Amino acid sequence: MSLASPVPRTDEFRIDLENRLRAVPSTALVRGLFFNMIGDHLRRSGRTRDARAIVGGRRRIYSLYPVSELLVAFAEAGSLVSPSDPRAGIREIWSGGSRYFADSWLGKAFQRFMRPDPAGALDWLERAHEHFCNYGRWRLERVQPGHVVLHMFDEYIWIENAHQGGCEGLLVACGVRGHVDAVVDSSFAGRLEVRWQMPN
């Protein structure tokens, strides 16, 4: 994937892509399912040609690919989904990703943790982190029922756009109402404050 694309580079996507790409180690790898998540979202919105241009064909979901390549793909797709604010586009893709993920073989194993309490799902994600990528660390802090904090360290994918959106989609998939606040301490470290109310 190259930055030379027909996608407009609005203020460097307003997500500091160039600096992020320079800082991410070449050894950082992620699973192919994240590329397929982008393609799936674009195809659902009628952008099949764009999906092919940005992510190519479908990736093997469990194979490892450079995270730098994924960052470019998400930046380009985000700028198509929301041209005025690519950050919102990235967040939307990740929020809808739970539907894609639930249909994958890994998602089918994950579904038993999905309801009714999102804390179980987030706990599973923390423990399964190394199955999704080969870098970084997550730590789940249970504050009280209906409130957890997911701490992220050496996380190269945007915490305040991508992971916040993914966590928002997780709450929807769990069938609860809540909200997610992202706190960024540095480019690659921060936390998600996740709060929800269990249905009566």
Name the one residue in this structure whose structure tokens are 């050894």.
27
Closest to 98 in 3D by CA, of 89, 82, 110? 110
Q: Which amino acid is at 194?
A: V
27, 66 Cβ separation under 8 angstroms: no
Compute CA 75 distance to the chain's CA centroid, rounded to the nearest angstrom: 12
3-class DSSP state for residue 26?
Answer: coil
pLDDT given at position 137:
97
Query: For every one of its 200 residues, what pLDDT tens digit does the chain have, with 9 covering 90 and above?
Result: 333 333 434 344 457 899 999 999 999 999 998 999 999 999 988 999 999 999 988 899 889 999 999 999 999 999 999 999 999 999 999 998 875 666 666 666 666 666 678 898 899 889 999 999 999 999 999 999 999 999 999 999 999 999 999 999 888 888 889 999 999 999 899 999 999 998 77
- Preceding omega of 66 cis (within 30 degrees of 0): no
pLDDT given at position 65:
97
**Full DSSP string of 160-190:** IIIIHHHHHHHHHHHT-EEEEEEEEEETTEE
90, 79 Cβ separation under 8 angstroms: no
104: left (phi over 0), alpha (psi -120 to 50) or beta: beta
pLDDT given at position 103:
60
Inter-CA distances, 85 with 43, 91, 98, 165, Å: 20, 10, 22, 14
Which pTM was predicted?
A: 0.86
